Amino acid sequence: MSGGRRRAAEATAAIVSVAGLIAGCGSSIDGSPRPEGASVTGDTERFTALLEECDAVTDEQIAEAVAADAIERGFFGAICRWDAVGANGPVKITFNWFETGSLDTEKETGEELGYKVESSTIQGRRAVVMRPPNDPGACGVSVGSPSSGVVGWWVQFTAAAADPCEAASTLADLTLNLSS
């Protein structure tokens, strides 16, 4: 076979292979589409605007919950972070809101990470409290969000001077208290 015919045959084979791959990638997904931020339980305005969920609890409320004199906003996205300092020393605060998350997933993940996981309630909603085994200054609390999915707060006192679960629970309670 001449060089030109061989290249043409190789090109044809490559096109057939790519077409076969593309055809094999098709799939269907069960369910009904819904707009981003929409909820089947009723939308709450404070939780449907992208990146505004980090403002559900004010910086002043966060500082009060962790007994901080100063607080600084860090990264804001799917996970929001603050650094603070006060009578309990430096503290790191993290907030997450996963629109399609579930408490069962949060609980399973905590258990897989080896955290001590406890069931709790906040404002009558089921919640999960998680404590890393080697960090007594850290605690996370996840609870069903006011619209859909789950919200969670993690508090980490670097000096382990205060109860991080109390602070995280307070922040979760403030998040659910949308009337404030």
Q: How many C-beta neighbours within 10 Å does residue 67 have?
A: 16
Per-residue confidence (pLDDT) for residue 76, from 0 to 100:
73
**What is the largest distance, in Å, between two alpha-carbon atoms of the chain?**
83
Q: Model confidence over 5-54: pLDDT tens digits?
A: 555 555 555 454 544 444 455 555 555 555 444 444 444 444 455 556 78
- pLDDT over 70 for what percent of the chain? 69
Q: Is 62 part of a structural domain of the chain?
A: yes
Domain of residue 115: give its range.
45-176
In the chain, count H helices and then E strands: 5, 7
pLDDT band at 56 (very low <50, low <70, confident <90, very high): confident
Does 132 map to a domain? yes
Q: Does some domain include residue 169?
A: yes
d(C-alpha 171, C-alpha 156), whole Å: 13
- Please, which pLDDT band fits residue 3 given cuts at 50, 70 and 90? low
How far apart, in whole angstroms, are the C-alpha atoms of residue 35 and residue 49? 12
Give pTM, 2 decimals. Answer: 0.70
Average pLDDT, the chain: 79
Task: Answer yes or no: is 33 within a domain.
Answer: no
Domain count, the chain: 1
Cα–Cα distance, 105 to 33 (Å, whole number) = 22
Residue 40 located in a structural domain: no
Cα 16 to Cα 2, 3, 9, 11, 26, distances in angstroms: 21, 20, 11, 9, 16
Using the predicted structure, report yes or no on whether residue 81 has a pLDDT greater than 50. yes
Residue 27 DSSP label: -
> Does residue 39 belong to any structural domain of this protein?
no
Instruction: Give the DSSP per-residue string, 68-135.
Output: EEEEEE---SSEEEEEEEETTEEEEEEEEEETT--HHHHHHHHHHTT-EEEEEEETTEEEEEEE-TT-
Q: Which structure tokens are listed for 86? A: 């006060």
In a domain, 54, yes or no: yes
In a domain, 12, yes or no: no
CA dist list (Å): 149 to 48, 101, 142, 177: 12, 5, 10, 16
Decide the pairing of beta strands 89-98 and 116-122.
unpaired
Instruction: Indicate the residue type of 91.
Output: V
